[in-house]
């Protein structure tokens, strides 16, 4: 790997050397186990004090990038002996890598505007790594996130209207929202962002193939989202379930699980379903239409196939 140091730079020589070696490791120019030039050799090559090189090596060793072997020299750290160890796991190291990249770019004459423009270009070419559910109602948003995650096995994040306009929120994400909120979502998003809008399940679709429980059977509806409880009450009554046979439970309240086993049927949402005790006869009613979930699965498969 070629190293270069500028004595006229505002960045100290020690930091210049640290950043370039870090960048060399990340870029693959410096391989794990590779021996670096000695302190004396680097000091002589760049006509700098050997203490400057030694201090840089100490910084890199402390951060986990290099390994000093007594009587042998300085080597790029060989990862893999302990899988839990990696100098690249912390946000601090990521910040240092970005700092190193910016220093190198500016040192070669590129303006900050040039760097930002090219970064935006390359980030735009990267495939999405998550769905971003935009929904102002937190309870509904969490349910949508759970349904999408279950259906696609893809990472899902969520936010309200205000957050979704922030560039850092949109980076790497594909926006999804309900069709009923399309106008509001389009209004807050940048014009170049193309969301995927989701259809909700219709009442006939929800009730298709369902048998009405016996008149004396207790039916419990459990959710952390109050509107789900009301929504479920309406369609169950419409399906012929006696209103007196419905037991509506807010899963945000302490002790909501007590006595649940006495219910003949437990109806819940995709998020709360993860907390329902085992052994109960549970039916999960989903908000998102099957056609929309299939569209999201196809979207994920297309990107995963293209980038394999």
Strand order in 196-198's β-sheet? 156-159, 130-134, 173-178, 196-198
Distance (Å, rounded) from C-alpha 141 to C-alpha 163? 13
Q: What is the pLDDT of residue 234?
A: 81
pLDDT at 87: 47
Count the domains in the chain.
Answer: 3
How far is the CA of 176 from the CAs of 157, 180, 195, 261, in angstroms?
A: 10, 12, 5, 36
Whether 171 maps to a domain, the answer reads yes
| Alpha carbons 102 and 278: distance in angstroms, whole number | 53
Structure tokens at 112: 């900050």
Q: How far apart are CA 10 and CA 8, in angstroms?
A: 7
DSSP codes of every residue in 178-191? EGGGHHHHHHHS-T
For residues 168 and 298, state if they share a domain: yes
The b/e string for 243-282 (b: 16+ C-beta within 10 A; e otherwise) is: eebbbbbebeeeebeeebeebebbbbbbbbbeebeeebeb
Final residue before a domain boundary, out of 81, 110, 139: 110
Quick check: is 172 in a domain?
yes
Q: In which domain, by residue range, is 228 found?
A: 203-284
The reply to whether the predicted model has a pTM over 0.75 is no
DSSP state of 174: E
Of the candidates 277, 285, 172, the one whose C-alpha atom is nearest the C-alpha of residue 234 is 285
- Report residue 214 as tokens: 């016996």
Report residue 131: phi and psi, to 5°. -95, 145
Residue 7, domain member (yes or no): no
For residue 117, is it within any domain? no
pLDDT for res 162 = 87
Per-residue pLDDT of the chain (308 residues; tens, 9 = 90+): 677 777 777 778 888 888 888 877 766 678 888 999 999 999 998 889 999 999 999 988 888 889 989 888 999 987 544 434 444 445 556 666 776 777 777 777 778 778 777 776 665 556 788 999 999 999 999 999 999 999 999 999 999 998 888 888 888 889 999 998 999 999 999 888 889 999 988 655 555 556 666 767 888 999 999 999 988 888 788 777 788 888 999 999 999 999 999 888 899 999 999 999 888 888 888 899 999 999 999 988 876 654 44
Alpha helices by DSSP H, the chain? 13-27, 39-46, 50-62, 91-107, 112-125, 138-152, 161-164, 167-170, 182-188, 203-207, 226-238, 290-306
In a domain, 302, yes or no: yes
The enclosing domain of 33 has a CATH number of 1.10.10.10
Q: What is the pLDDT of residue 128?
A: 84
In-domain check, residue 197: yes
Rounded to whole angstroms, the Cα distance separating 220 from 267 reads 6
User: Residue 220 has what pLDDT?
Assistant: 92
Q: Judge contact between 263 and 134, C-beta under 8 A.
A: no
- Please indicate, yes or no, if residue 229 is contained in any of the structural domains: yes
Report the run of H or E that residue 196 belongs to, with start and end: strand 196-198
Residue 251 in 3-state DSSP?
A: coil
Residues 137 and 249 in one domain: no
Triad 168, 169, 173: Cα angle to 5°: 110
Residue 116: predicted pLDDT: 76
């Amino acid at each position: 790997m070629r190293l270069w140091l500028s004595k006229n730079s505002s960045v100290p020589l020690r930091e210049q050397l640290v950043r370039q070696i870090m960048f060399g490791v990340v870029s693959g120019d410096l391989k794990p186990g590779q021996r670096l030039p000695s302190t004396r050799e680097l000091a002589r090559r760049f006509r700098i004090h050997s203490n400057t090189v030694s201090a840089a090596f100490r910084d890199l060793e402390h951060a986990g990038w290099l390994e000093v072997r007594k009587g042998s020299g300085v080597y790029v750290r060989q990862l893999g002996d302990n899988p839990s160890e990696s100098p690249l796991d912390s946000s601090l190291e990521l910040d240092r890598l970005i700092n190193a990249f910016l220093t190198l770019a500016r040192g070669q004459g590129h303006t900050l505007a040039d760097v930002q423009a090219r970064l935006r270009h390359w980030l735009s070419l990267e495939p999405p790594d998550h769905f971003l559910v935009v929904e102002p109602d937190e309870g509904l948003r969490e349910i949508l996130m759970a349904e999408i995650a279950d259906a696609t096995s893809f990472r899902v994040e969520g936010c309200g209207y205000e957050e979704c306009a922030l560039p850092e929120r949109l980076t790497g994400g594909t926006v999804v929202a309900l069709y009923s909120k399309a106008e509001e979502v389009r209004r807050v998003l940048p014009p170049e962002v193309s969301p995927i809008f989701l259809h909700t399940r219709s009442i006939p679709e929800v009730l298709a193939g369902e048998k009405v429980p016996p008149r004396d059977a207790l039916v419990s509806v459990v959710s952390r989202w109050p509107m789900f409880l009301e929504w479920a009450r309406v369609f169950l009554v419409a399906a012929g379930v006696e209103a007196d046979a419905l037991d509506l439970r807010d899963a945000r309240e302490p002790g909501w699980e007590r006595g649940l086993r006495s219910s003949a049927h437990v109806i819940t949402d995709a998020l709360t379903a993860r907390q329902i005790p085992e052994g109960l006869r549970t039916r999960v009613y989903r908000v998102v239409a099957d056609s929309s979930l299939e569209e999201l699965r196809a979207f994920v498969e297309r990107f995963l196939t293209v980038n394999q």
